[in-house]
A and B are shown apart, each in its own frame.
Chain A
Amino acid sequence: MGMVFALMGAALATALPGIGSAWGVGMAGQAAAGVVSEDPDQFAKVMLLQLLPGTQGIYGLLVTFITLSNIGILGGSAVTDTATGMLYLFACLPIALVGLVSAYHQGRTSVASIGLVAKKPDQFGKAMLFPAMVETYAILALLISILAVQGI
């Protein structure tokens, strides 16, 4: 039973932030394509902005990988008791949940920033900062998830 919980945690850590990132990158991509149709020179800038919500999916992957290499699937030893399995599940939850929500909202912020770049291409530095603010919380969640998984 412990293994089931641990693996569930690992799966959620990739699945939820992945959903969020796909959502965010998708929204931002639509906005970016619209801008490029008017002004192809902005391609590089708006693509960078589009990519910003993509990182949560990677953070999730990271936690999954560390978990898998601790619970005997890619290394380490198998989880035998339910309690330990639950520990892994809860350790994975911060990045799973925060990743999902922050990627979605970072996507929305990216859409707004892409609009900003379309109107004022020279304000790219500031436009990039707004989505980056949202990401802070995904990074904090990632950190806690890693520390927790490593600490079990």
Chain B
Amino acid sequence: MAIVEMQKLSICALKKNRKAILETLQHMGIMEMRMEDLENDPDLKEQDTQTARSKYEKRASAFEEALKILKRYSNDKSRMGLFYEKKEIRRSVLDEAVRNRHQYNVHVSDILSSERKIQECIGIIQKDENMKVELLPWEKLDVPMNMSGTRDTAVLIGTMPGTHSAEEVYAAASEKLGEAPAVYAEVVSAENDRTCLAVVCLSKEENLVEEALRSHGFSRPSQVVNGIPAEVSAGCDRDIGLQREKIKELKEQICSYASEKEYFRLMADYYTTRAEKYRLLGQIPQSENAFFLEGWLPADKADRVASLLTERYGAFVEREEKNPDEMEPTLLKNNRFSEAAEGVLADYGLPQHGKTDPTCIMSVFYVFFFGMMLSDAGYGIVIALLCLILRLKHKNPAPGIRRFLKLFFWCGISTIFWGFMYGGFFGDLIDVIAHTWMGVPSDQTVLKPLWFAPLNNPMRLLIWCMLFGIVHLYTGLGIKGWEMLKDHDLTGFISDIVSWYLFLTGLIFLLLPTDLFHSISGMVFDFPPAVHTAAKVCTIAGAVIILLMSGRSRNNWALRIALGAYGLYGVTGWLSDVLSYSRLLALGLATGVIASVVNMMGSMFGSGAVKVIIFIVVCLLGHTLNIAINTLGAYVHTNRLQYVEFFGKFYEAGGKPFVPFKAITKYTQIKEER
């Protein structure tokens, strides 16, 4: 219903109970710590806990890393998706695991070092593979690559650009020698515009030969390989096999820890929580023997916390008044229906203390408008069922997801309602089936709307949409008036709220019987003269109040009237706000007409069984697409009506969300045993 009342507590206790008290508060998770008041006291110091904190953070991330590695090697397909559920763990199980934490730490460091070794092996394999690729053109060489020659001969092994035959190489090598040169040339391979060659010559002529070859672009291999290429290559193969074997063993070793995954998750959460405790510990001001804490918690829980801390730890707990410049954190509490819309409000911004929490009123309009925009009974059933199934399948989703599912379940129900009002069930699906297969004459409507079909009389629905809009906007204005009354601002209430009610209502009643309105809507209003007079009086009274009072903060009367006139000009704002509700009609029409297009396309082709199959396929695809796009549209524009039109009339966000000091968990949720 409202914003939860908060109480500020200050706690003073002996330093030796420091960790125990913090742990208790962390388990309870109901207090937000604020240290601002105590920060600048010269007698108190904060303890440096950075070392301990980063130690635990490192541990936590080691467990996370180990879990990631385990997941990679054990073919675990489970994902941390949108609907990830934290596993409930009993406190005793956690305590047991914490006692064994040394063992888990050892296992995790084993996993991490195995992973490092695997990475090393992968590096070696990569190197071997590269070596093999490099040796591939040398495969036919039957002497070691690093051979320099025999006693009297020299061997030149290297590459030349371009593809050459042995004769060409021979000619190139013997260029600088005389007749009948003592040179033997062999081409090992010649491909990819590169020739791998080996040339044998006399040792004393080596320089001349090499020079001659170099002038043709000869160069020795950049990397010296020891041994015969084919053998080295085979050695690489053996090594790769060996490394693969090793990786397999290491992987098996890692996977042998898979059974401890649950505990690793538990420990990751445990260390994150502990790091959080040390973070707070580092902010706590302490004297030699005592320490001080300050924070906010829901007022109804203050007594319980105070007495618990006093009895168990002999702490001194005091209720504090809030500082004038301080703002309580905002925590919302609503009934089971309205809490679904808390997420929508939080997206805009939480209310401040002392203001109204509009969640409850907004949730009703939200569900109502959403249904009007989607307005198809079939689609409503799909959405409501989908939410219901997801909710039943996931017992314990994150609070945000749970609220979201609930909100859309109710929106689905509202959509069903409006669908039947407008006579839409997957568009005109029932009619199309009846006309095409049941032999019902095509001018006969099977599913009749409970109210009326929007396409037959869009003007009428437009008027209704604007009426709903006016109700919505009046409600917003009413909330603002209520806040002013709560602040005992009666002048403000009359000049800013009542005046507008009078002015606008009067205007509407003046407009309704005019010819202009009649020609637009086709509706005839015939008010008795008394109503007409009353409307006139209301309009004039409202306008006069606005004219005189809008600028009441100014003393200069000329300026005040000018501001008042500008205030009256605000009626254009109201006009555009009301017109904005025409989207209720437009989006409602969009859903219905597109659905009919789908049905029509499906029933156009083929005959007999083929026709039925085509119809089913087209309907499945088309309606799925239509549901998706129109649900998105309905969601976006319902939000907009709330945020811009409704909130624009009264709401100021700016509340700080309540962030209690609690266990930070990613995988588990501790179930207390009391």
**Given contact pairs A139-B587, A140-B582, A58 touches B639 in the complex (Cβ within 8 A):** no
CB of A128 within 8 A of CB of B636, answer yes
> How far is A147 from B582 in the complex, measured between Cα atoms in Å?
12
The reply to whether B640 and A55 form a contact with Cβ atoms under 8 Å apart is no
Contact of B639 among A44, A128, A150 (CB under 8 A): A128
B637/A132 in contact, CB under 8 A: yes
Neighbouring A residues of B455 by C-beta, 8 Å: 66, 150
Establish whether residues A58 and B643, one from each chain, have CB atoms under 8 Å apart when the complex forms: no
B633 within 8 A of A: yes
Report which of B344, B348, B462 forms a contact with A143, defined as CB distance below 8 A. Answer: B462
A147 touches B459 (CB 8 A): yes
Choice from B582, B596, B629 contacting A58 with Cβ under 8 Å: B629
Contact B593 A62 (CB under 8 A): yes
Residues of A within 8 A of B43 (CB): none
- Residue B579 is within 8 A (CB to CB) of chain A in the complex: yes
Question: Is B583's CB within 8 Å of the partner chain A?
Answer: yes
Give, as a whole number of angstroms, the nearest-CB distance from A100 to chain B. Answer: 17
Does B347 lie within 8 Å of A61, measured CB to CB? no
A129 & B644 in contact (Cβ 8 Å cutoff): yes
Q: Which residues of A contact B585 (CB under 8 A)?
A: 143
Cα-based distance from A147 to B456 in the complex (angstroms): 11
B629 engages A146 (CB within 8 Å): no
B458 interface residue per 8 A CB criterion: yes
A76 to chain B, nearest CB (A): 13
Known A-B contacts A58-B594, A62-B590; the reply to A147 vs B344 at CB < 8 A is no
B347 engages A125 (CB within 8 Å): yes
A74/B600 in contact, CB under 8 A: yes
Min distance, Cβ A109 to any Cβ of chain B, angstroms = 12
Closest CB of chain A to B345's CB: distance in Å?
A: 9
B82 touches A44 (CB 8 A): yes
Taken together as a complex, chains A and B put the C-alpha atoms of A67 and B346 apart, in Å, by: 42
Binds B, one of A1-9, A46-54, A84-92: A46-54
Q: How large is the interface on B (under 10, 10 to 19, 20 to 34, 35 or more residues)?
A: 20 to 34
- How far apart sit A126 and B653, CA to CA, in the bound complex (Å)? 12
CB distance from B62 to the nearest CB of A (A): 23
Residues of A within 8 A of B458 (CB): 146-147, 150
Alpha-carbon separation in the docked complex, A128 to B644 (Å): 12
Cβ 8 A contact of B347, one of A44, A51, A126, A133: A126
Q: Is the CB of B639 within 8 A of A59?
A: no
Residues of B within 8 A of A55 (CB): 590, 629, 633
**Cβ of B632 < 8 Å from any Cβ of A?**
yes
| B589 part of interface (Cβ distance < 8 Å) | yes
Q: Would you call B580 an interface residue if the criterion is a C-beta within 8 Å of the partner chain's C-beta atoms? A: yes
The answer on a CB contact under 8 Å between B639 and A125 is yes
Given contacts A48-B632, A129-B639, A132-B637, contact A139 B594 (CB under 8 A): no
Residues of A within 8 A of B537 (CB): none
Contact flags B553-597 to A (C-beta < 8 A → 1, else 0)? 000000000000000000000000001101101110110011011
Contact across chains for A61 and B597 when beta carbons are under 8 A apart: yes
- Binary interface profile of A, 110-152, with partner B (CB < 8 Å = 1, else 0)? 0000000000000011101100110110011011001100100
- Render A77-95 as a binary contact track against B, CB cut-off 8 A, 1 for contact: 0000000000000000000
Residue from the set A44, A58, A126, A129 with the largest chain B CB neighbour count within 10 Å: A58
What's the nearest-Cβ distance from chain A to residue B654, in Å?
14
Write the nearest CB–CB distance from A91 to chain B, whole angstroms. Answer: 13
- A125 adjacent to B629 (CB under 8 Å): no
Closest chain B residue to A136, Cβ basis: B580
Residues from chain A with a CB closer than 8 A to the CB of B586 are: 59, 139, 142-143, 146
CB-based contact A62/B640 at 8 Å: no
Beyond A54-B629, A74-B600, is A146–B637 a contact (Cβ under 8 Å)? no
A129-B640 in contact given A124-B347, A146-B589 (Cβ < 8 Å): yes
Residue-wise interface mask of B (286-309) relative to A, using a CB-CB cutoff of 8 A (1 in contact, 0 not): 000000000000000000000000
A49 to B372 Cα, complex, angstroms: 22
The CA-CA distance from A82 to B582 in the complex, in Å, is: 32
Interface residues of B in 637-654 (CB under 8 A from A): 637, 639-640, 643-644
Check B348–A125 contact: CB distance below 8 A: yes
Q: How far is the CB of B387 from chain A (nearest CB, A)?
A: 16
Within 8 A of B (CB), among A32-74: 44, 48, 51-52, 54-55, 58-59, 61-62, 65-66, 74
Question: Which residues of the other chain, B, contact A126 by a CB distance below 8 angstroms?
Answer: 347-348
- Near A by CB (< 8 A), chain B positions 47-88 give 82
Whole-angstrom CA separation of A135 from B587 in the bound complex: 12
* Bound-state Cα–Cα, A136 to B580, Å: 7
- A61 CA / B590 CA spacing, docked (Å): 9
B636-A132 in contact (CB<8A) = yes
B633: nearest chain-A partner, CB-CB: A55
- For A143, the chain B residues whose CB sits under 8 A away are 462, 582, 585-586
Minimum CB distance partner of B582 in chain A? A143
A129–B639 Cα gap in the complex (Å)? 8
Residues of A within 8 A of B344 (CB): 125
Within 8 Å CB of A51, what residues of B?
629, 632
> In the complex, what residues of B have CB within 8 A of residue A48's CB?
632
**Given contacts A126-B347, A129-B640, A136 and B82 within 8 Å (CB-CB):** no
B351 CB, min distance to chain A CBs, angstroms: 15
CA distance A51 to B629 in the complex (A): 8
- What CA separation (Å) do A135 and B629 show in the bound complex? 14
Most buried by A among B82, B344, B462, B582: B582
B residues 331-348 touching A (CB-CB < 8 Å): 344, 346-348
User: Given A52-B636, A129-B639, A139-B582, is A59 in contact with B459 using a C-beta cutoff of 8 Å?
Assistant: no
CB distance from B206 to the nearest CB of A (A): 57
Give the CA-CA distance A61 to B629 in the complex, in Å. 14
**Out of B82, B579, B589, B639, which one reaches A132, CB within 8 Å?**
B639
A55 to B582, CA, bound (A): 16
B583→A136 contact, CB < 8 A: yes
A135: shortest Cβ distance to chain B, in Å?
8
| Residue numbers in B under 8 Å from A124 (CB-CB) | 347
Q: Which residues of A contact B639 (CB under 8 A)?
A: 125, 128-129, 132
CB-CB < 8 A to B636: which residues of A? Answer: 52, 128, 132, 135
CB distance from B461 to the nearest CB of A (A): 11
Contact status B583-A139, CB under 8 Å: yes
Beta-carbon contact of A61 and B594 below 8 Å: yes
Query: What CA separation (Å) do A52 and B328 show in the bound complex?
Result: 37
Interchain Cβ contacts under 8 Å between A and B, 21 examples: A44-B82, A52-B632, A55-B629, A55-B633, A61-B594, A61-B597, A65-B596, A125-B346, A125-B347, A125-B643, A126-B347, A129-B644, A132-B639, A133-B640, A135-B637, A139-B586, A140-B579, A142-B590, A146-B458, A146-B586, A147-B462
**7 extra interchain contacts, Cβ-Cβ under 8 A, other than A52-B632, A136-B640?**
A65-B596, A125-B344, A125-B348, A129-B640, A129-B643, A132-B636, A133-B640
A interface vs B, CB < 8 Å?
44, 48, 51-52, 54-55, 58-59, 61-62, 65-66, 74, 124-126, 128-129, 132-133, 135-136, 139-140, 142-143, 146-147, 150
**Which 5 pairs of residues, A with B, have the shortest CB-CB distance?**
A125-B347, A139-B586, A132-B640, A139-B583, A132-B636
